[in-house]
Amino acid sequence: MVLIGTVVALAAARDDIDRLRSRRQASPLASAFGSGSQPTLALLAKELQELRTEAHDDNIVEEIIESRWFEWLGLIGAGVVSGSFYVETLIRRSKSPAGKNSPAKA
């Protein structure tokens, strides 16, 4: 279950990145140039600062999501959790009376 949740979360994060990229392509600066008006220097500076901030944020997110360490640690974590449930099941079955395969009642 944890592994499935991790895969779904990664797919959703990649969709968000794609949506941010498409939104960035349709920036207000492009519409200002398209309407024929000349943007002011302050508007250009503000837009440049926003683009730098977004690019920096996107790079950090992409580096984390595409990192092999992130994928391996997620896989190892899912294995540890599922393994602990498996070991718990084995211990409970060994403690239950012989001949019964039903889980022990709490």
Successive 10-residue mean pLDDT values, the chain, 106 residues: 75 74 60 59 85 75 74 91 95 78 53
Contact between 54 and 24 under an 8 Å Cβ cutoff? The reply is: yes
- Residue pair 96/103 in contact (Cβ under 8 Å)? The answer is yes
pLDDT given at position 85: 96
Alpha carbons 89 and 37: distance in angstroms, whole number:
70
pTM for the structure as a whole: 0.36
Residue ranges per structural domain of the chain = 2-95
